[in-house]
Amino acid sequence: MTTTNTTLTDNTGTAPAFAGAARAEHYIETPPPAPPDAAHPAPTIADRSAASAPLPPQIGDPFAELTQTPTADTGTAELVGIRAFLAGLGFPVGPSASQIAQRARDAGQRENERIVRQATWTRAVSILVANPKGGVGKTPTSLILGGVLASIRGGSVCVMEVADDPGALTFRSEGTPTLGIGDLITDLNHVHTAGHLAGYTAPQTSFASVLGTTTPRPPLTAENVTAVATVVDEFYAIRVMDSGNQHSSAAFNAAVETADILVIPVMNAGDAALEAATLLRTLTARGGTAAAIAQNAILIRSTDGRPENPDVTARVETLLDSTGIQHRFDIPYDPHIAERGQISINRLTPATYEAFTAAAAAVVRSLQATVR
C-alpha cells in the first residue's frame, strides 16, 4: 500500500499553513454601528411593542366588537383639576356630582335609543302631531320627532302632511323636491313599489322621508288622507302626520282615525295650553279611536327664545296639569329651530336631541302598549 502525504503551504507556496488560517486571511471586520441620530432615534422596546400591536378596528368594521379589548372603568377617567391631581397621587377620589349626573344622563340616552331601535310591531304605526293653535311648533315637532325615530332605527319613517291647505312641512324640511302629496294623490292608483313612492318624497339626512306640498293643490279630503296613509303604510314602518289648525275638518278627522298615538306640541303661552285642553276634550267626547289617542296623549313643550312671563308660565303649568297628560317633555331653546328655516337633525344641540329622544322613547313605549 502506498501512502500519499499532502502538504499545505501558505500563499507563497513555501511555508505550511492551516486551512482555518487561510480562511481568516480574507475576513474583513465590520465596523461597530454608529450612535443613533438624535433626529431619528432608534425605536425603543415600547415603540416596537406599540408598532407590533394590532391596529384598532376602523369605523364600519363588522368585527370591531370582536377585536377590541374592553378596558376596565377605573372611575378616574373623567377626573379633572385638583381631583385628577389627588387621584394621580394615589388618593381615593371619586367622580364629582356633576360627573355622576352626566353619567346618568348618558345611560338614560342609551336606554332611550335602545327602546326606539328595538321596538317592533306587526303592522305600520302612526303618530298624529296636533294642536288647533297655530305657531306652537307642530311642523318642527313632526320633523324632529320623525327624524329622531328614523336616525335611530335606520329609516322607514315617513313624515306626511295632513293639513287641509298646504302647510310649511316642505319649507321646513331639507331638499327641494319637485313632486309632493298633491301629485301623489293624482297618481295614487299607479304607485305599487317603494321606489315609485320615494319619488314623491324629500329624503332627509336623518333617513326620514317627507311627503309635503310642492305645488298648489286643492284642500285635502278625508278620502285623500285615508288613501295616502294606506299606501304609505305599505312601505314605511312609522308614519308621522303633521296636521293643520282645523280640528273639525274632514281631513283632520280622517287623520285621527288612522292614528295610534297623539302628540301635542305647546309653547309657554296661555292660548296654546287652552287649545290643547280643548282638543283633548273634543277627542274624548267623540269616543272610539279619538278618545283612545286622547287618553294616551304625549305633550311636548318648546320655547323659541321669545320672552316668557313667569306668571304666564305658572298658569300654563296649571292648565297642563288639569289635562291629566302623564307624559310631558320640555324641549330647550335651540337656535337652529328658532331660525325658522330648513331643519337638519345634525344641527340640533345635544340637549335638544336628547330631549326629543326621550319623547320618542315614550311614544314607542305607548305604541308597544296599545298596538298589537
Residue 11: per-residue pLDDT:
45
Mean pLDDT within 228-246: 97
Where does the pLDDT of residue 32 fall: very low under 50, low under 70, confident under 90, or very high at 90 and above?
Answer: low
Residue 23: per-residue pLDDT:
53
**More confident: 238 or 22:** 238
DSSP helix/strand/coil, 194: helix
Residues 366/120, Cβ–Cβ less than 8 Å: no
Residue 65: per-residue pLDDT:
43
Residue 208: per-residue pLDDT:
98
Q: Does the structure show a pLDDT above 80 at 51?
A: no
Residue 94: per-residue pLDDT:
77
DSSP helix/strand/coil, 6: coil
Mean pLDDT within 240-264: 96
Q: Which strands, in side-by-side order, build the sheet including 202-203?
A: 202-203, 209-211, 157-161, 238-242, 125-129, 261-267, 298-302, 327-330
**Average pLDDT over the chain, rounded to an integer:** 85
Mean pLDDT within 26-49: 50
Containing 329, the helix (H) or strand (E) segment is strand 327-330
Residue 89: per-residue pLDDT:
79
Where does the pLDDT of residue 99 fall: very low under 50, low under 70, confident under 90, or very high at 90 and above?
Answer: confident
Kindly report the CATH number that applies to the domain delimited by 111-370.
Answer: 3.40.50.300
DSSP helix/strand/coil, 155: coil
Distance CA 168, CA 136 (A): 13
Where does the pLDDT of residue 307 fall: very low under 50, low under 70, confident under 90, or very high at 90 and above?
Answer: confident
Domain boundaries defined on the chain: 111-370
